[in-house]
Amino acid sequence: MARMRAVDAAVLVLEKEGISCAFGVPGAAINPLYSALKARGSIRHILARHVEAASHMAEGFTRARSGNIGLCIGTSGPAGTDMITGLYSAAADSIPILCITGQAPRARLNKEDFQAVDIAAIAAPVAKWAVTVMEPYLVPMALQKAFHLMRSSRPGPVLIDLPVDVQLAEIEFDIDAYEPLVPFKPAMSRAQAEKALKMLNAADKPVIVAGGGIINADASDLLIEFAEVTGVPVIPTLMGWGAIPDDHRLMAGMCGLQTSHRYGNATMLEADFVFGIGNRWANRHTGSVDVYTKGKKFIHVDIEPTQIGRVFAPDLGVVSDAGAALKMLLDVATEWRTAGKLRDWSGWAGECRQRKKAMKRKTHFDQVPLKPQRVYEEMNKAFGRDTTYVTTIGLSQIAGAQFLHVYKPRNWINCGQAGPLGWTLPAALGVRAADPDRTIVALSGDYDFQFMIEELAAGAQHKLPYIHVVVNNAYLGLIRQAQRGFSMDFEVSLAFENVNRKDEPEAGYGVDHVAVAEAMGCKAVRVRRPEDFAGAFEEAQRLMNEHQVPVVLEFILERVTNVSMGTEIDKITEFEELAEHHEDAPTAIVMLD
């Protein structure tokens, strides 16, 4: 036993639980914890410009690598309320992050003290656990519980609030006697696996829907092996993209209203059986339940019991970690195939591959200003198979999911359910902090980029280089497109005559992103014409490598481009001509608008 401040014990626990990096903003009520961090010098700290951004950096850090848990730190009051969006985003996508806030002294709680707010009550709906620790010795014990909760069952975030006098109080603590708790993960039984495979064997046109739970469980290799043993095509969700390579013969495309492929929707409509693993039947994937489920049987495997039946009741539900389920399913399927008990779905898989070849959207446009489809075509040429893409929401994300390619798990880092604007930039910085070597390309529309553009300075200060592709049409593009249903274009334009850009052709686009990026200590390249693509990508990578700072690569788009989407998976509006049309190829229902 040693006598120490509660915050010194907290830092020792953070070390033992594997925390190596923190993102945050110091302040009076959390300075005791910062003093403990400084004294130990064991945890890297990245100073954000906004506490919400720090929470998204922590998300990016967690999402980048297996086993990571990002740490976000802030003072009392507004720092905690700023973290709420990050907590919501992490909870929605099953991402563990730890948020630690300072708090007013215990004696001043409920007395309207300066920057004192009941942050635990505010955070409770968007956290697995949110607590104000009222006893000094409970600080290390609360952290132990926090890590156990974050890692057990469905992963998620925790907030721990520390009154300043609790932080400073001395306690007896022995870090050598401390051990992280073993997380709880439910596992599929053999009987459940046999039941599931018996149902699968009765299907003529089955598909596997691979969700983000597979990536959380590091089970992508098991998914691929299970798909290959059974021969069943795979439709990844947006959160599961990368669990099977885009060019794998059994990757059948994504399904959905927006972030989907024409061939993925067509295959889902043809299927008669859906085996969902580690997914949550998100509405952007399903559209209406009636259309999505018509003529199909369903199995749903999820780590969280209350997810099964939340959207619709499956024909079989199994509570299991995705990795444990896939291992058991693979063992049984391999035995059945060896014994000749497994059906042959090669004909069905061949139909899916034919759709994948035939049902393409056009990307090659030569117009100036640029069409966004051409940007993604050129990104596919410029960036290799190991590229990690980071993005959140908007037409940029939707078109990115339709046209980019992802080949590995954790190479598509996306805020799937919450979709807060501004998420992309800080999340990309968090990914870079987690991995100094990978190629990172962030993707934003101009509005997402402007939301937290100040974090470019954090990237420059802390030498966190990556390439940020900004597709600029000076519009809230997704909202403008949605407003078509109301026959309006109202308060969604970002364009204005920038008096400081009189000599530039896009002066009317408003904000000069290149100038802002350079003012923040970063580098930037602007692209206006198709013939400049190749040189711009090369220049961006050269600048990033030379200066070790974020590089903004801005593409000047035409003001209005409608991106393919619809209200149902069988009613997707295609606003641009398609790449090709084969009369004999199966097609989704397409309306040219």
CA atoms within 13 A on the CB side of 317: 16
Residue 149: which residues within 8 A CB-CB, separation 6 or more?
Answer: 128, 129, 156, 158
Q: Count of residues for the chain?
A: 593
Contacts 24+ apart (CB under 8 A), 375-380: 375/469, 375/471, 375/555, 375/557, 376/400, 376/402, 376/403, 376/404, 377/403, 378/530, 378/533, 378/534, 378/537, 379/404, 379/441, 379/469, 379/537, 380/404, 380/405
> Is 143 an active-site residue?
no
Task: Tell me the helix, strand and coil percentages in the chain, rounded to 5.
Answer: 40, 20, 40
How far apart, in whole angstroms, are the C-alpha atoms of residue 8 and residue 475?
49
> Is 543 an active-site residue?
no
List the one residue out of 103, 121, 107 whose CA is nearest residue 33.
103
Q: Which of 14, 46, 51, 431 is catalytic?
A: 51
> Is 87 an active-site residue?
no
How far apart, in whole angstroms, are the C-alpha atoms of residue 257 and residue 74?
38
Q: CA Rg, the chain, in Å? A: 25
> Is 421 an active-site residue?
yes
> Is 301 an active-site residue?
no
List the one residue out of 278, 275, 280 whose CA is nearest residue 333.
275
**Measured between alpha carbons, how far is residue 142 from residues 91, 127, 147, 310, 370 in Å?**
19, 15, 9, 31, 53
Q: Give me the helices (H) in 311-445, please.
A: 322-338, 346-358, 372-382, 395-403, 424-434
Q: 């100073």: which residue's tokens?
A: 47
CA 90, chain centre distance (Å): 9
Q: Which of 476, 549, 569, 572 is catalytic?
A: 476
Q: Which of 291, 479, 494, 516 is catalytic?
A: 479
User: Residue 40: in which H helix or E strand, if any?
Assistant: helix 31-40
List the one residue out of 548, 551, 590, 547 whose CA is nearest residue 571.
590
From the CB of residue 538, how many other CB atoms can be counted at a distance below 10 Å? 12
The CA-based dihedral angle spanning residues 488, 492, 494, 495, taken in that order and rounded to the nearest 10 degrees: 0
Q: Which of 131, 318, 406, 421 is catalytic?
A: 421
Q: Which of 12, 13, 25, 543 is catalytic?
A: 25
Q: Cis link prior to 105 (omega < 30° from 0)?
A: no
Tokens of 448: 């997402």
Q: At residue 569, what is the residue type?
A: I
Residue 300: which residues within 8 A CB-CB, separation 6 or more?
Answer: 276, 279, 281, 307, 308, 309, 314, 316, 317, 318
> Is there a contact between 237 and 282 (Cβ–Cβ < 8 Å)?
yes
> Is there a contact between 113 and 437 (Cβ–Cβ < 8 Å)?
no
**HEC readout, 345-370:** CHHHHHHHHHHHHHCCECCCCCCCCE
List the one residue out of 158, 117, 162, 110 whose CA is nearest residue 136.
162
Active site residues: 25, 51, 421, 476, 479
